Amino acid sequence: MDAEGRYRLTLTMGTRQVMRGWWAGETAARRQIPVWVRDWGVEGAVITLVDTADGTVIHRWPDET
């Protein structure tokens, strides 16, 4: 687990990690997803929510097809 919090939200553009945020609770982290999508959800952006305790990807935007 990251020292900053268990749930990490990451914004990636291409191969470059542009922004990260950490939250102690999953609910609080999930509430940030639509905010990040609204503010930074442009073509080429990938927003990922990860449980750093076990590395599980909880949510990815846009959805993988």
pTM: 0.88
pLDDT category at 1 given cuts 50, 70, 90 is low
Residue 20, helix vs strand vs coil:
strand
pLDDT of residue 20: 96
Euclidean distance between CA atoms 23 and 43, whole angstroms: 26
Sign of the CA dihedral running 30, 25, 46, 54: negative
- Indicate if the pLDDT at residue 61 is higher than 60: yes
Q: Which residues pair with 49 in a beta bridge?
A: 9, 59
pLDDT digits (tens, 9 = 90+) for 2-52: 567 899 999 999 999 999 999 999 999 999 999 999 999 999 999 999 999
Extents of the domains making up the chain: 25-52
User: Order of strands, edge to edge, in the sheet holding 45-51?
Assistant: 16-23, 7-13, 45-51, 56-61
pLDDT of residue 63: 87
